[in-house]
Amino acid sequence: MDIIPSKSFAHRAYLCSALSDHPSQVICRFTSEDIEATRECVRALREGESVMECGESGSTLRFLLPVMGALGRRGVFMTKGRLADRPLSPLREELERHGCRLSPPGVSPVTIEGQLTSGVYVIPGNVSSQFISGLLTALPLLPGNSTVVIEGPLESSAYVDITAEVLTRFGIGWVKKITGDGCCYEIPGGQMYQGPRQYVVEGDWSNAAFWLCAGVIGKEPVTVRGLRKDSLQGDRRIVDILRDFGAELRWDGSEITAFPSRLTGTEVDVSGVPDLAPVIALAASVASGRTDINNAGRLRLKESDRLTSVAESLNALGARVREKKDKLVIRGSGGASLIGGYVKSWGDHRIVMMEAMASLVCEHKVIIRGKEAVSKSWPGFFQELERAGLAGNLK
């Protein structure tokens, strides 16, 4: 199958293009609710509008808040689902410390007004990398130089690396320096975005992970095309993680094939790849022995509380998953089938994908209530499952 374009790269490319005097043609042969939210907001940005329809897209909100501040424009960000409840601290405090005023926490719409000023911005490394990416995108627009100081290890460093790469492609300079307990980004002020004539969005490792898992736990190999082996996307780690379980995966040019494999439990630190947790939990459910998914506390702040939704969904299908404060402990079936049955979507696209792929190892059919939640990242997901011949145990 041909994988869809990367949502992470698409968000950044559309925003950087909108900030350019001569916008680039962003080639993204696919859309989703999140990508459409960013496209609609950058259209509003270029046309001088103040109301931004973010939907449930955290990237859209967290990238555009500091950008509107840097432009000195009032922004009214309309949100849906859990987005208004997802944390904005410490980005909120840093924006307010540098001249902006925001609406109270937990209130929708989220509003910002005032003129952002250059200076030193301090963000802990263990919070959402979207805060850092938003600042790196906004600060070059200010007249003065700025520094983003990241205190402690940067957990989701791959997402910041993606931001830095896209900024470079659009003519923005930055300098990364290692500090005593973390790192910092020095951002010269007074820069202008100047993008390439065309920008092609690369394939999405986050979504490819579900298909590679399907090949490993199912009865037939699955081949995924359109991925960069050397991608900056952190979720490319799924290949190494599945191999740690004992899975067989082979590269052939830009194609990678996952083969049905006997899996053995392992330990996985997901602090840098939280979006892989549902995939890993599914693989662990049919492996032999115990799997620990560690440093997963940030999963509680996603579209659903993913520690709870992963555990309860897989348990409803017959798996043995124990939820702890910041981890999951899974006792695998040793290759035996799960049961199947009814599950709910939790309003979370990645939970729907996990439940759908779980049907490959269930004795009875899987019925997903609210499966339309998958449209947040992949509206055609179930049609693609049918085309691949993997939807036979879904009802």
Do 113 and 215 lie in one domain? The reply is: no
Q: Which of 120, 153, 188 is the last residue of a domain?
A: 188
Clarify whether residues 245 and 378 are in a common domain. Answer: yes
List the binding residues: 7-8, 12, 58, 86, 128-130, 156, 275, 302, 306, 350, 376
Kindly state whether residue 392 falls inside one of the protein's structural domains. no
**pLDDT higher than 90, residue 28:** yes
Active site residue 305: no
CB 376 within 8 A of CB 34: yes
In a domain, 199, yes or no: no
Please indicate, yes or no, whether residues 169 and 236 belong to a single structural domain of this protein.
Answer: no
Whether the pLDDT of residue 106 is over 90: the answer is: no
- Amino acid 314: pLDDT: 99
Residue 254 has pLDDT above 90, yes or no: no
Question: Which residues carry a binding-site annotation for phosphoenolpyruvate?
Answer: 7, 58, 86, 130, 306, 350, 376
Q: For residues 104 and 77, is the Cβ–Cβ distance under 8 A?
A: no
Amino acid at 280: I
Tell me the pLDDT band of 228, cut-offs 50, 70 and 90: very high
Residue 331: pLDDT band (50, 70, 90) is very high
Q: What percent of the chain has pLDDT over 70?
A: 100
Average pLDDT for 68-89 = 95
Catalytic residue among 275, 292, 305, 348: 275
Number of folded domains that form the chain: 2
What integer pLDDT is reported at residue 180 of this predicted model?
87
Calpha distance 334→344 (Å, rounded) = 25
Please check whether residues 18 and 115 belong to one and the same domain: yes
Check residue 364 and give its pLDDT.
98
Q: Do both 263 and 336 map to the same domain?
A: yes
CATH number at residue 334: 3.65.10.10
Instruction: Calculate what percentage of the chain has a pLDDT beyond 90.
Output: 95
Q: Are residues 181 and 218 in the same domain?
A: no
- 193 part of a folded domain: no
Q: What is the pLDDT of residues 340-383, one digit of tens each?
A: 999 999 999 999 999 999 999 999 999 999 999 999 999 999 99
Q: Which of 46, 1, 6 is nearest to 201 (CA)?
A: 6
pTM score, whole prediction? 0.93
Asked whether residue 218 falls in the same domain as residue 159, the answer is no
Same domain, 215 and 143: no
The residue assigned the tokens 């840093």 is 94
Is the distance from CB of 170 to CB of 195 less than 8 angstroms?
yes
The mean of the pLDDT values for the chain is 97
- Strands in the chain per DSSP E: 25-27, 51-55, 75-79, 100-102, 110-114, 120-124, 146-151, 175-178, 183-187, 198-200, 222-225, 248-252, 255-259, 267-269, 290-294, 320-323, 328-331, 341-344, 366-369
Query: Which structural domain, as residue segments, surrounds residue 57?
Result: 7-188
Pair 136, 224 in one domain: no
Q: Decide if 35 contacts 206 (C-beta within 8 A).
A: no
Are both 178 and 219 inside the same structural domain? no
As a whole number, mean pLDDT of residues 61-71 equals: 98
Q: Which residues, other chains included, contact 42 with Cβ-Cβ below 8 Å and sequence gap of 6+?
A: 14, 15, 17, 18
Does the residue 42 lie in any domain?
A: yes
Residue 393 lies in a domain: no
